[in-house]
Amino acid sequence: MFAYIVRRLLLMVPTVVGILVINFVVINMAPGGPIDNIIAQMRGGPSLGERTGAAEGREVQSSTPEQGRDSRAARGLEKELREKLAKQLVLMLRNYLTFDLGDSFFKGKNVVELVIERLPVSLSLGLWATLLTYLVCIPLGIMKAVRDGSRFDVWSSGAVILGYAIPSFLFALLLIIVFSTGTVVKWFPLRGLTSDNFADLSTGQQIVDYFWHMALPIVAMMIGGFATLTILTKNSFLDEIRKQYVITARAKGLSERRVLYGHVFRNAMLIVIAGFPAAFIGILFSGSLLIETMFSLEGLGLLSFEAALGRDYPVLFGALYVFSLIGLLIHLVTDLMYVLVDPRIDFEARAG
């Protein structure tokens, strides 16, 4: 298993390099990127952000010899600029190997410092929301499989599908109005990850204060993931329960609990565990942005969004680099969880 982990870690290097190269090319070559803006300015026109539509009825001027020479000079500049971007890409990849992510254009800080400041917030949201979703949905899915077709199964299916249909930001807004503004009650804080006097609290009080602030954001992020995981767990268990080995185990006189958790569980849980990376990454990367904004949580998702709007490329690529590493590490952890659930899986034998 150790050799398999080492191989997977080594394979992450070309994978991350490929992700960074593709995104570097797309961002810099896309309309409105650095090349377009510089070329537009060299041709004597405004940058993309300053362009406005031509006034209606304005005559289109014919090109002049001087404009033609300027156009050829611009094409030469474009070629030179692309060569410089290629060197910049190589330098960026070299620096990223040592986690030298550069400095932000606008925030006056090193990108690593910004990521370290914001990452705990995003990880807290993603990990707690994913963990609690699994802790609720897996037992619920097993109960639905055991009671398939019952009234409990029908009503619980309706509840989780309704939660899936409600956008997380809309549910977050409802939670804020009901529990934070004082319109109905004011049980939870409206914004922030901790209270202003957090440093003065004892360790136990700090833990309580942390979860007090995290309660509503986590609930808002969890609600959309209930339906998919619950139905997946139910269908996976139903598929296993109907197989011949389960009938044989029951015929031998084993208790229903022993059959369910001793035989069915580890087989049925494989497909559920396979969806863990997608669930965590989905919650962390897509669901956290709106939640961080609505609850004023300074996380990595909000930082990336601000960097994209402001064309702060060092921050944008640094956040992308960290997101890629997290995603790849989660996939590796998922493979290791396969072995924990079903020891019969041997990655060393498969690799050989």
- Rounded CA separation 235/137 (Å): 12
- Rounded CA separation 252/217 (Å): 48
Q: What total of structural domains would you count in the chain?
A: 1
Is position 38 within any domain? no
Q: Which of 159, 151, 157 is nearest to 223 (CA)?
A: 159
Task: Please check whether residue 121 is in contact with residue 193, taking contact to mean a CB–CB distance below 8 angstroms.
Answer: yes
Is position 235 within any domain? yes
Is position 18 within any domain? no
Is position 16 within any domain? no
Model confidence band, residue 319 (pLDDT cutoffs 50, 70, 90): confident
Is position 185 within any domain? yes
The distance of Cα 119 from the centroid of its chain, to the nearest Å, equals: 12
Is position 31 within any domain? no
Phi first, then psi, for residue 103 (nearest 5°) are: -120, 150
pLDDT per position as a tens digit, 234-243: 888 888 888 8
- Rounded CA separation 153/140 (Å): 9
Is position 85 within any domain? no
Per the model's pLDDT, the better-predicted residue between 246 and 47 turns out to be 246
Q: Which residues contact 215 (CB under 8 A, 6 or more apart)?
A: 188
pLDDT per position as a tens digit, 252-310: 887 777 888 777 877 777 777 766 766 777 666 666 677 877 787 888 877 887 887 77
Q: Which residues contact 9 (CB under 8 A, 6 or more apart)?
A: 332
Of 184-198, 208-222, 276-290, give the lowest mean pLDDT range.
276-290
Is position 60 within any domain? no
Of 91-105, 232-246, 335-349, give the lowest mean pLDDT range.
335-349
What CATH number does the domain containing 294 carry? Answer: 1.10.3720.10
- pLDDT of residue 84 exceeding 80, the answer is no
- Full domain range(s) for residue 285: 119-351
Question: Taking the CB of residue 156, how many other CB atoms lie within 10 A of it?
Answer: 19
pTM of this prediction exceeds 0.85: no
